[in-house]
Amino acid sequence: MAIQSLQGNMIQNQYGNGIVCQGPMLTASPFLTDSFQQQLPHEYWYQSPVYDDDGNVIYYQDVRTGQKDSASLNWGFSITFSLPLDNSLQKRCKAMADKWLAIQDQNLKDKQLSWHVARLKECGALKKSGIEFAKGSVFYSLCEDVRVLPKMGQVLPHRHEVPPITSSSFSKPE
């Protein structure tokens, strides 16, 4: 009896955008086989006829058959360790996976920035219009940290107090 260990596909890590890396793999395969053979009915001896020259049976002779039961129990453990032969391909795949993950992180940060800029614009426009969420609202915190400031170089309407001019305010040189 023979046991054949077949390894399957290497373990694959998929990172998206078609990047799939295969790594080393350890496969352990325990096995157990058993067998039992016997011939039935058990006849340890049989009568074999002995003939004369004319073909008549003279007597029967006891002949041993040699039949015996056969039983076996086999067990084992098969270990396979698979490594890629070209490690540079593995390194390049891992480098591509790292770059792809960095790109995905940057995309997430870009989307977060876009969301916050849109929130800032909308909340600022609402505050300029005098519209805001009530303090008890679950959405109040969305615009709570937004401040509306005067534009750079903008002169806001204002007044100055100018004291009236009187004759006593003029002084004569002496």
pLDDT, mean over the chain: 83
Give the Cα separation of 6 and 166 in Å (integer): 111
Answer whether residue 168 shows pLDDT above 70.
no
Residues 174 and 167: their CA atoms lie apart, in Å, by: 16
The string of pLDDT tens digits covering residues 55-81 is: 999 999 999 887 777 777 777 777 777
pLDDT at 31: 77
Question: Alpha-carbon distance 112 to 104, whole Å?
Answer: 12
Q: What token pair was written down for 26?
A: 């350890």
Query: Is 17 in contact with 100 (CB distance < 8 Å)?
Result: yes
The pLDDT confidence band at residue 159, using thresholds 50, 70 and 90, is confident
| Burial environment of residue 21 by CB neighbours within 10 A (0 to 12, 13 to 18, 19 or more) | buried
pTM above 0.85, yes or no: no
Going from N- to C-terminal start, the domains of the chain cover 16-21+85-135
| pLDDT confidence of residue 104 | 94
